[in-house]
Every structure is written in structure tokens, then in C-alpha cells.
Amino acid sequence: MISRGVGGFSRTRAAAAAAAVVTVVAGLGIRALVDGCVAKYAGDALYAVLILALVVFVAPRSRPVAAAGVALGFSWAVELLQLTGVPAELGRRSAIAHLVLGSTFNAPDLVWYAVGAALGWCVHGLLVRRSGRPAVSSRSDLARREGLARRGV
């Protein structure tokens, strides 16, 4: 998210953890202040943002588009899982399961997860660009990029 240099991964993880906390606080704040569709769909978008922040926390070298894709895929998978009734049953047994998995499928949620993933992608991308270093997935990718830069490509 922020820096990829010495200590960069710890800064990236710290920024991702902070983003996760801010996202949860924002979600709880919206639920406390607003009712109805606005709160529900903002919560869906923030769910995807939270998953993206957790992806970056676990994989600090992840590219913004990859982190957003994982967040969107996970969010959609959870929503589609609700068609089976399994999340509803787990939610009856555990409040945490209910918070993480929900209970009832709602097709518009899929759109709002995409909105959240896109928002997270943009913010993550801006932070990576501001750090002045590319987000890379491996050392070989970094070496390839440096080689291309030396050759003027």
C-alpha cells in the first residue's frame, strides 16, 4: 500500500491494518446514523473494502488490481453461498458467522461489492503510486522491470 523499501512491508501491513479498522468503524458509524438501503449497500461496499485491506495485510506485495479481484471474488462467493442456506444456519449458531457470511442472498449486493472493490482498487493504486515504487508480485518480476528500465523500454 505505502512503501516497498526497507521496512516497507511492515509499513504496508500497518497501513492495511489501519485501513481495515477505519473501514469497520465507518461501517458501524453508517449503520448507527443511517437506516435502510443506504446503510445496507454502503455496508456491502465497505465489506469488499475490508476484504481488500485484509488481502493487502496478508500479501503486502499484491498489486491493486489483484487485491481488488480477490476481494470481489471472495465477496461474491460469500453472497452466492447464501443461496445454499449454510450461512443462515451458521449465523443462527454464531454472531460472528452472521456478520461475516450474512444470511440471505440479495442480487444487488453483487453490484455494491463491485463498487467497494473498485473504490479499494483506486485508493490502493493511488497509495502505491505515491510511494514511487511499483507493486510487484515477486522478485523475478522486480528484476524483469529493472532490466527493462535499464534498456530504456
pLDDT tens over the chain, length 153 residues: 444 444 567 888 999 999 999 999 999 999 899 999 999 999 999 999 999 999 999 999 999 999 999 999 999 999 999 999 999 999 999 999 998 999 899 999 999 999 999 999 999 999 888 876 555 545 555 555 566 556 665
Q: Identify the CA nearest to 84 among candidates 103, 98, 106.
A: 103
Q: According to the model, what pLDDT value does residue 150 have?
A: 65
| Distance of alpha carbon 99 from alpha carbon 58, whole angstroms | 21
Q: How far is CA 26 from CA 33, 60, 72, 115, in A?
A: 10, 23, 19, 16
Q: According to the model, what pLDDT value does residue 2 have?
A: 46
Q: According to the model, what pLDDT value does residue 9 have?
A: 75
